[in-house]
Structure 1
Amino acid sequence: MFLTRFRVNTARPGARRLLASPQVMHAAVLASFPTLLPGDTPAPEGPRVLWRLDHTASAEVFLYLVSPHRPDLTHLVEQAGWPAAAVADPSAPGWESRPYGPFLDRLAEGSRWAFRLTANPVHHIRRKEGEPIKRTAHLTPVHQMGWLLDRQEPCGFRITEKPGPRRLLPAGTTHTGHPHHGDRYHLTVHDHRNRTFDKTRNPDAPAARRPAPVTLVTVTFDGRLEVTDPDLMRRTLTRGIGKAKAYGCGLLTLAPLPAEPR
């Protein structure tokens, strides 16, 4: 397994095209692996290619990849990076890629980490009597948090709780009867995005032959977690969480916790 980071040059037209469509970015990500064919699908229980776009406070955009094989992002550097800088310094091709296995092997029960996850929180509901059950996005932070909290145990972690004196909002229930956790957990939800894009690989195809546009709701979770089952945690880090993994959702990454103030 490999963990890769690529900084996107947002001033380039190719970068803007990639950032505008998760379908186009997905195709570019898969093109980083010579052994992958366009129609290939991951094995049900094996690792897969996961990716995520992170937008920083300083307006930088980073593409993160987790993959079974080391990627070659030369085409991304040419389209959406700094190709002249990469040519000038062959030791810095325009991306960073490191083996992920040693980190995964060190995961231990009880270890605590900061985490980030961009996900597509959905549930299945029937809006009216007699209608078929449909997959529907959660739209409020309360329900989006609840979606992730429901997945803690099977994913091998638990989101840590704040000490009582540090909680500013009381827990309770919403007007619909759903639990509201206040700020009980070290967990925030931000960067809510509604994306609509064409799934076709050929933008010049006649409109009548194009599939219906894809509509996708994504949010980013930041927080702190404790590993409860290292094997399940490793599976989560290499298989992802939730739906829409092809479109930049599901990649959970860990980082050391910042030092607590004294």
Structure 2
Amino acid sequence: MNSTRASTARFVATHSVLSLNARHPLVAKSLVDAHEMHRTVMSGFRGWVEDGAPQPRAQMGVLSTWSVDLKAAALVLVVQSRIPGDWSRIPRQAFTAAPHIITVDRTFKAGEVVSFRTVVNPTRSKPSGKPASEKVRGTRTAHTTPEHVKRWFARRLQSDVEPANADDGVARIGATADPETLGIRMLPTVSSAHRSKPVRIGRAEIRGSLTVTDPELLVGVLSNGLGHARAYSCGLILAR
């Protein structure tokens, strides 16, 4: 193993687990509009960052993920943050149980095996067709098959001897895994038809086990998220 890496790293965050009634108007709107889900998540953190400050979500380390049981009309929203959330702005009638607040304080060790789940927005850059000399960025396109998602994630895995960034610039996650053991499930696209900022986000769920190779790098990814669309409930890695 690279001797310059720390053998342990500490991860501290707050997890808010919100059990919500999917039939409540605010929750129902959050389910059909990605911008509304973002507003619901960020409503718990008003006042921590000055209005108009750049990247408030990133400053507060706010990441989220959610799952819905349509038959039971139940939405479970998990919000991670560096500071505690205040969920009093969500109507009491929208909750099916009181918010469950958990302080996560965990030390990860090199060589440790952890199970994980994450919902990501796995994308590739589609060439623009312009000459390379014009340096025009390609269009970001979501992967749509489990095999492509598996390859997308595998490129971010990191063995004991690999650096933090691949030769093509892809940032690695401080852990490795056997890609063939990963469970991949394609999830419905989430979108918003908001006139000023329409979005359409392809999503996939990845489950499995990781072996820690660079604890500090892994803690950074756990804290800051993985991939794109982190403002829209993608990129949070839940490890246990």
Per the normalisation by structure 1, the TM-score is 0.71
1:188 alignment counterpart: 183
Letter in 2 for 1:155: I
1:8 alignment counterpart: 20
For structure 1, the residue ranges without an aligned partner over 5 or more in a row are 86-93, 162-183, 200-209, 256-262
Q: Say which SS state the counterpart of residue 242 (structure 1) adopts.
A: coil
Looking at structure 2, the residues matched to 134 and 4 of structure 1 have their Cα atoms a distance apart, in angstroms, of 35
2:113 alignment counterpart: 112
Q: Say which SS state the counterpart of residue 45 (structure 2) adopts.
A: coil
Where in structure 2 are the equivalents of 1:57-76 lying within 5 Å?
59=72, 60-76=74-90
Taking only aligned residues, the RMSD between alpha carbons, in angstroms, comes to: 2.6
1:165 alignment counterpart: none
Change (3 A) 1:228 1:58: farther
Q: Say which SS state the counterpart of residue 107 (structure 1) adopts.
A: strand
Q: Is residue 2:43 matched to residue 1:48?
A: no
Report deviation, 1:246.
0.4
Where in structure 2 are the equivalents of 1:128-207 lying within 5 Å?
128=129, 133-153=138-158, 154-159=172-177, 161=178, 185-199=180-194
Q: Is residue 2:41 matched to residue 1:29?
A: yes
Looking at structure 2, the residues matched to 76 and 146 of structure 1 have their Cα atoms a distance apart, in angstroms, of 39
Percent of pairs with identical residues: 25
Report deviation, 1:25.
1.4
The question of whether the paired residues in 2 share the 8 Å contact of 1:30 and 1:38 is answered with: no
1:99 alignment counterpart: 103
Change (3 A) 1:70 1:212: closer
The question of whether the paired residues in 2 share the 8 Å contact of 1:47 and 1:238 is answered with: no
Looking at structure 2, the residues matched to 120 and 73 of structure 1 have their Cα atoms a distance apart, in angstroms, of 26
Report deviation, 1:16.
0.7
Change (3 A) 1:76 1:47: closer
More strand by share: 2
Q: Say which SS state the counterpart of residue 152 (structure 1) adopts.
A: coil
